[in-house]
Amino acid sequence: MTLLRQQLNAVPFTRPYVWMLAAWILSMISLPIARWTWGDSVIPVSSLIGVIFQFSAVVTILQARWGTRRTLITVIVVGVLTWGIEAIGSKTGVPFGVYSYTDLLQPQLFGVPLLIPLAWMMMLAPSWAVASVIVGRGRTTWQKRAAFIGISALAITAWDLYLDPQMVGWGFWVWAQP
């Protein structure tokens, strides 16, 4: 049985993340079609579905690579920190400026959609992957760690700068002073 399992795991289409990635890609392709067909009212639900599929694929890939315990700890830490930063940021204006979420993304906890930490997690892992490729493998030095952190931060910031105008345009949050 173990040999059969190993052989099945060697076939890419039997890995759960492949199907989750395919579902995520299909959800992203379907968003403009659904929007064209039914209007802007489908954007929140389509966004929710897309984030859940990509988050699930990322977590499944991390679990296969890191194991369940490390992945679970990472998801919890990232979830709590990113939700906390968004909650503090939307109430105080620090560090992002004064903004607030609308009611379009549900459910929310203290005015922050619970989808937001999932979105951060789904993009942090690809940012880490980009940084790993650029920094390279081998002996870890403080310079490599600093480069990894800096490149990861640039990658996630680039994603956020790309995404923010769309999210504001779709009415997911509003700035106090545009």
pLDDT of residue 12: 54
Whole-angstrom Cα distance, residue 140 to residue 95?
A: 31
H helix runs in the chain, sequence order: 2-10, 16-38, 43-66, 68-92, 115-135, 142-169
Q: Which pair of structure tokens corresponds to residue 119?
A: 């979105």
Rounded CA separation 3/16 (Å) = 18
Which residues of the chain fall short of a pLDDT of 70?
1-15, 138, 178
Report yes or no: 81 and 45 within 8 Å, Cβ to Cβ: no
29-38: pLDDT as tens digits: 888 898 899 9
The reported pLDDT for the residue numbered 103 is 93
Cα 14 from chain centroid (whole Å): 23
Q: Model pTM?
A: 0.81
Question: What proportion of the chain, given as a percentage, has pLDDT over 90?
Answer: 44
Tokens 């052989």, residue located: 7
pLDDT of residue 157: 92
The half-sphere exposure of 171 on its side-chain side, counting CA atoms within 13 A, is 7
